[in-house]
Amino acid sequence: MTILILTGAGISAESGLGTFRDKDGLWTKYDLNEVATPEGFARNPKHVQTFYNARRANCRGATPNAAHVALGQLVSAREDVILVTQNVDDLHERGGATGVIHMHGELARALCAACDHRWDAPDEMSVDDPCPACGTKATRPDVVWFGEMPYHMERIYDAMAEVDLFVAIGTSGNVYPAAGFVTEAKQNGAETLELNLEPTDARGLFDAGRYGPASQVVPLWVDEVLGR
């Protein structure tokens, strides 16, 4: 049995990290074209680094909630569980999950736009930081921006080919390719389940849905899967 779980910003909402599209979400406060595209970074790298330094500080100050911990227990208890996240925070890891597939990258990592070298990001990144490998001052957060190819897609689609149960947690299903995973899973004969604060626009694509705060809904679901 292969369970593939896809998480989004909603799983970290109760840890105090904002979502993107809820009423006071990040994209209601910032123009994503300015802070989440390669063009925005090219126009004003300092502004983008400041934006991600603030998000990195928020993450450092956040703690994993019961949903992260429950998924950490599930991943530890069952080899057939694959955890894919759209989130760039490290709350899954701090909640006990290992082998998390970060398809949108990680705030905790830095990337050299000149030579593709990656390293652990300092708390405060600056455009004046030279790349430790090539020395070029072209450092950026190692996160995937709009218009860029998400990471680990081959690994995700290989897993999707074997999936028996696909579970989307805390994601609005707005951004592809992640938004297409439920359809891919169904085409592969999987059952599909949405766990979210409330039904999303994609609800009709799922076989079933359970609604409420992730810190309540996810542990109950994990208890069921683990027969606890």
Binding mask 96-135 for ligand APR (x = CB under 6 A): --------x-------------------------------
Euclidean distance between CA atoms 165 and 78, whole angstroms: 14
- On whether the CB atoms of residues 111 and 140 are closer than 8 A, the answer is yes
According to the annotation, is 24 in a ligand binding site?
A: yes
User: Locate tokens 């990337």: which residue?
Assistant: 111
Answer yes or no: are the C-beta atoms of 218 and 67 closer than 8 Å: yes
Among 114, 127, 138, 197, binds ligand APR (CB under 6 A): 197
Residues serving a catalytic function are 104
Q: Give the nearest residue (CB) to ligand APR.
A: 10
Q: Which stretch binds ligand APR (CB under 6 A): 121-129, 153-161, 185-193, 197-205?
A: 197-205
Q: Which of 102, 139 has the CB closer to ligand APR?
A: 102
Phi, psi of 168 (to 5 degrees): -100, 130
Residues 6+ apart with CB under 8 A from 24: 18
Among 81, 200, 206, 209, binds ligand APR (CB under 6 A): 200
Phi/psi at 33 (5° precision): -65, -25
Is 44 assigned to a binding site? no
Q: Which residues are annotated as a binding site?
A: 8-27, 52, 55, 86-89, 112, 115, 131, 134, 170-172, 196-198, 214
